[in-house]
Structure 1
Amino acid sequence: MPSALPLGDPAPTDGLLPPTGAAASADRDFGLYVHVPFCRVRCGYCDFNTYTATELRGAKQSDYADEAIAEMRFARGVLETSGVAARPLSTVFFGGGTPTLLPAHQLAQMLGAARDTWGFVPDAEITTEANPDSVDAAYLQTLAAAGFTRVSFGMQSAVPSVLATLERTHDPARIPDVVRWAREAGLQVSLDLIYGAPGETLGDWRRSLDAVLENEPDHVSAYALIVEDGTKLARQIRSGQVAEPSDDLQADMYELADATLASAGYDWYEVSNWAHRETGRPSRHNLSYWVGHDWWGIGPGSHSYVGRTRWWNVKHPAAYAQRIAEGASPAAGRETIDGETGELERVLLLTRVRGALRTESLVPEARREIAGLIAEGLIDGKAALRGAVELTLKGRLLADAVVRRLT
């Protein structure tokens, strides 16, 4: 089952934000995340807030678009009443779950409501995640006509045995089709991979990377498999049914991914993300999380962050629907990120982004660590001369250790 929501302070039923939300808000971009919490099946490794049809307990998938739109209108009122600067959306991201389990016209309806509620900047980035077996050419054409600019396909692997271990249901042979359909619709394409699944070999991983390059996506994400407590995979490992992923093998896989992608024209811009230097661009929505811009998260279990206040919605779709029907905030709890915690989060997130952390922004004790980190081959010396902290390949593999030295 999905992991529990974090602890925090009670969230007010009116959703109003503290004064920090309004402070300097005009200087920050504003994005929207729309969580679609539905999946056909629950993958054994996943601890996201998702629900299959048998787990909805009275909530209706068919009602979800209207509920999400109602939260958008509620959000606009909260931001205005809280004095937060009115800004058009720079990015919109539909994630899940599987957003494309909903009919394409419902995603278009929600996107249209977001446009009506806030407006979009001229070059807004509009993304949806999609499973390869949940879309066809007509579906993608509908999304593009509605204003979507980008699709992120959960490819995960090109090897059937690895997909079976992950309990992914799509046929890897379908990837070229969905990439072609997305391109024909005029959408940018990201292919998303997971490496280090139990039983996956370095040869398997090389095969997946080769398959990615054959499809020439604009963007690639590659995430190491993390065994989350409470998941089916964690129970299988505990019982000895499958082997625990090897840290050393995952490091080898990361190095292979970086070398393979770099040789094919992809530049890393965040520890787990690469954009093609000619056709692609970084995910602006994800960058907004890492650099501390504002976003509102729509839907059950969604997290939001505005002006150093973070809050999270009730998890279950039925509880969410009830709050929305009552006209109350769906937030379950919230916290203000400041002081030492705020600095730790700032350094942790910015360190992941290539060159985003400026040395002059560090406390004096942290700046004194820079020379040693360069000597140990963890951060790039040339970037440091430009005033930026940029992880080397070795540093990306040991990013947590670098962060500890800089905080």
Structure 2
Amino acid sequence: MNTVLPLLTDAGLPPGAPGPDPLPDSAREGLATTPFGLYVHVPFCATRCGYCDFNTYTSDELGPGANRSEYAGTAIAELQRAVRTLGPELPTVSTVFVGGGTPTLLPADDLAAVLSAARELFPVADDVEVTTEANPETVSPASLATLREAGFTRVSLGMQSAAPHVLAALDRRHTPGRAVEAAHEARAAGFDHVNLDLIYGTPGETDADWAASLDAVLASPVDHVSAYALIVEEGTKLARRVRRGELPMPDDDVLADRYEQADATLGSAGFEWYEVSNWATSDAARCRHNELYWANANWWGVGPGAHSHVGGLRWWNVKHPAAYADRLARDQSPAQDAELLDEADRALEAVMLGLRLRDGLPLTALTGTGRARAADAVRGGLLDPAAHADGRAVLTDRGRLLADAVVRDLTD
């Protein structure tokens, strides 16, 4: 079971919310040698997409102390706090990922300032990967050039679909061709790697719509594609529309067909899957920050609602930007709560994450029951028999379609 930590206070610092201050000795073990990344959450959006349940806010949902113009300084204040908590021997930052929300609603100079502060405060690897997410309509050749000059190496653009009616169903505001245009602008600005995000299974999407979206991606200068099945999350506008009967629930068989179509189309164009929902043209094109998550390594999440993990200690910040900013203004931890994972928890998470990767994981990572079920999964065509003979659990093509079910079966 997870151990929920009691209220923690800073060692030698002003009392704060429950969180990583002070960092337990167990979490410090391996801090210098475990890959470490920074995640910066930017919680602002111009509008709320109907399917999204992320911790994001539009301008009319925010009060004083949570405006965009002050946000870069607030994020930097948490970076400074991270240094105080993790030091004196700081881990080297190998990846930085700025996500949202819509990070590029902030001026490019503000994002550059946050990255500059991270470089000043932490040791940073020479080959650091620095990603920002972006909505296509919130970037321009000028802003992309500023980000590239500041040290950003990778941009992930939310395309979702090339079909206007699908974008409308998702409440996306960009025009169908804008994502591809923005990808060209990113390449022209000198970005090493460009990703396009797709969503499949939206009500009203046809086979031809999905094929057109894939074709549009392949006509763009990207080396990475993420494709996710639409999930109807409770509490979203989309869920309310489905509940009222205005839109149908995504069909599982259609979702499977869409996934197989994506894998075949991308594979024939030189993209190789390396995680169930992610394809890249080479190892260098993979998202190293996400690989850090999937390897259960260490990262510090900056921003309201951001999650962090260091050496089995996991914590998450208060959600509302105003409360987050107020905590930091009072030199208090913005953490809302934390939990310390025991060895069994960490082993379970390693299996749950590792099974989704192309390389899979050693059978020795499974329990005795899990290994017996893995043999059954081989007979059922869900795990690769050759990999199993070599002592690894690796999903087959069919297994990828049922990845969540396979993971549940092998970890129950």
Structure 1 match to 2:76: 69
Contact 1:13 1:328 in 2 (8 A): no
Distance 1:65 1:277 in 2: 34
Contact 2:102 2:135 in 1 (8 A): yes
Contact 1:12 1:329 in 2 (8 A): no
Question: Alignment partner of 2:82: what SS?
Answer: helix
Structure 2 match to 1:321: 325
1:12 aligns with 2:14: no
Which sits farther off after the overlay, 85-94 or 27-36?
85-94
Distance 1:230 1:342 in 2: 30
Distance 1:230 1:102 in 2: 27
After TM superposition, the structure 1 = structure 2 runs for residues 371-390 of structure 1, keeping only pairs within 5 Å, are 371-390=375-394
Question: Alignment partner of 1:133: what SS?
Answer: helix
Cα deviation, 1:302-360, whole Å, max 9, x if unaligned, reads: 00000111110000010001000011100000111224433322211111111141122
Could you tell me the TM-score, scaled by structure 2's length? 0.93
Structure 1 match to 2:255: 250
Alignment match of 1:152 (pick from 138, 156, 172): 156
Distance 2:399 2:324 in 1: 41
Which sits farther off after the overlay, 172-181 or 150-159?
172-181
Alignment match of 1:35 (pick from 11, 20, 41): 41
Which sits farther off after the overlay, 332-341 or 319-328?
332-341
After TM superposition, the structure 1 = structure 2 runs for residues 92-103 of structure 1, keeping only pairs within 5 Å, are 92-103=96-107
Q: 1:387 to 1:26 in 2, by over 3 A?
A: farther
Regions of 4+ moved over 3 Å: 6-11
Structure 2 match to 1:3: none
Alignment match of 1:21 (pick from 17, 27, 30): 27
Distance 2:77 2:3 in 1: 26
Q: 1:322 to 1:297 in 2, by over 3 A?
A: same
Q: 1:303 to 1:354 in 2, by over 3 A?
A: same
Distance 1:176 1:205 in 2: 15
Distance 1:361 1:26 in 2: 24
- Give the counterpart letter for 1:33 in structure 2: Y
After TM superposition, the structure 1 = structure 2 runs for residues 77-88 of structure 1, keeping only pairs within 5 Å, are 77-80=84-87, 85-88=89-92
1:46 aligns with 2:56: no
> For the aligned residues, what is the CA RMSD?
1.7
Could you tell me the TM-score, scaled by structure 1's length? 0.94
Distance 2:176 2:148 in 1: 24
Distance 2:276 2:87 in 1: 36
Distance 1:22 1:327 in 2: 23
1:56 aligns with 2:62: yes
Question: Alignment partner of 1:155: what SS?
Answer: strand
Contact 1:351 1:403 in 2 (8 A): yes
Question: Alignment partner of 1:304: what SS?
Answer: strand
**Structure 2 unaligned spans of 5+:** 11-20
Alignment match of 1:209 (pick from 206, 214, 220): 214
1:220 aligns with 2:225: yes
- Give the counterpart letter for 1:201 in structure 2: T
1:298 aligns with 2:302: yes
Contact 1:11 1:331 in 2 (8 A): no
- Give the counterpart letter for 2:78 in structure 1: E
Distance 1:267 1:152 in 2: 18
Q: Cα offset for 1:13?
A: 4.5
After TM superposition, the structure 1 = structure 2 runs for residues 76-155 of structure 1, keeping only pairs within 5 Å, are 76-80=83-87, 85-155=89-159
Q: Cα offset for 1:184?
A: 1.3
- Give the counterpart letter for 2:205 in structure 1: E
Q: 1:266 to 1:42 in 2, by over 3 A?
A: same
Cα deviation, 1:65-93, whole Å, max 9, x if unaligned, reads: 00000000001101126xxx522100000
Q: Cα offset for 1:27?
A: 2.8
